[in-house]
Structure 1
Amino acid sequence: MPAPKARPIPEGMHSLTPHLVCDGAAKAIDFYKAAFGAVEAMRLRGPGGRLMHAALRIGDSALMLVDEFPEMGSVGPQALKGSPVTLHLFVPDVDATMAQAERAGATVTMPAQDMFWGDRYGQLTDPFGHRWSVATHLQDLTPEQIQANFAKMPPAMECGQ
């Protein structure tokens, strides 16, 4: 009898899952546990002890990560001198999460504040160079209300400054 067909998207996963490259993935796992309450699902070590694959859960979402493998063209944001990618995390209490992440070693790049789109929102950079935005949704607004709120903002706030 043939084996049962596997689900195209494994149980507990979503269609889109971030997969980060870190200089020091094992330390990054410790940071994500301390900063965001991540739960480690698995860890696969390769030659020389580098992480070939690791999987975490933060809230209801998966996060995968690996160590850098520069010999294969796989490097993290520190080697690239920054990242154009921001990971967005919804949490019940943005202020508490930002404070917890800062205590764990993150750098707050934008303190949490109430935003025109209805979220309390802040930004930080983790010790491995990955950028995060963290938010608590406060109110459901229509696109028209968001546009009207945006129009009332001072110019310095237009890009989250």
Structure 2
Amino acid sequence: MSQTNEPTVSFSLTCKSAADALDFYTRALGAVELYRLSPAPGVVPHAEFMIGTTHINISDEFAPGHAFAIPEGGMAPCVFTIQVDDCDQAFARALAAGGSPLTPSRDQFWGKRTAMIRDPFGYRWSFSQHLEDVPPDELMKRAQAFMSGGAK
């Protein structure tokens, strides 16, 4: 395996309008746009942005059989989790920018505070704030209590 500065795993999003998505991700998630290929106004066959230390590619839907956007009203089966300092603040920011709430902020038995939105393009984003380190034995107890309907 060659050594490069490339991440081990990278991913690409496809949207009906990558330009609109880039605007949303900047406002809602604090994304920083790195560059955008735009051969014509409103056309984005490729762009790249960062959220924190994560590099993400994005493009418009194009070339039949090559890149498909999530159908309108649909939702991606995967969830992207962003580690944040303040879950409530990140959730509020994403909602103010046009995200739809899926799960409100709440403390989880595994030591995180989380919330989740659906973006206008069908992707799900979870915000995760570290609250405490939970040792494996305690995590197992909490998970069992949670699954049996008990609290943390």
Question: Which of 74, 92, 98 matches 1:99?
Answer: 92
Question: Which of 11, 19, 29 matches 1:18?
Answer: 11
In structure 2, the gaps of 5 or more residues are none
Q: 4+ runs of 1 displaced by more than 6 Å?
A: none
Per-residue deviation at 1:48? 7.2
Residue deviations 1:62-106, cap 9 Å, x none? Answer: 111001115234112225932111111111111100000000000
Per-residue deviation at 1:9? 3.2
- The corresponding residue for 2:4 is 9
TM-score (norm 2): 0.88
Q: What residue identity is the alignment partner of 2:4?
A: I
In structure 1, the gaps of 5 or more residues are 1-6
Residue deviations 1:87-127, cap 9 Å, x none? Answer: 11111111100000000000010001000111001111001
Contact 1:9-1:15 within 8 A present in 2 as well = no
RMSD between aligned residues: 2.3
1:82 paired with 2:75, answer yes
- The corresponding residue for 1:150 is 143
SS in 1 for 2:47: strand
1:35 paired with 2:10, answer no
CA distance in 1, matches of 2:139, 2:145: 10
In structure 2, the CA distance between the partners of 1:155 and 1:22, relative to structure 1 (3 Å rule), is farther
CA distance in 2, matches of 1:117, 1:129: 27
The 10-residue stretch of structure 1 (68-77 or 32-41) with the greater mean CA deviation from structure 2: 68-77
Contact 2:72-2:122 within 8 A present in 1 as well = no
Q: Percent identity?
A: 32
CA distance in 2, matches of 1:125, 1:97: 13
1:60 paired with 2:57, answer no
In structure 2, the CA distance between the partners of 1:54 and 1:92, relative to structure 1 (3 Å rule), is same
1:123 paired with 2:116, answer yes
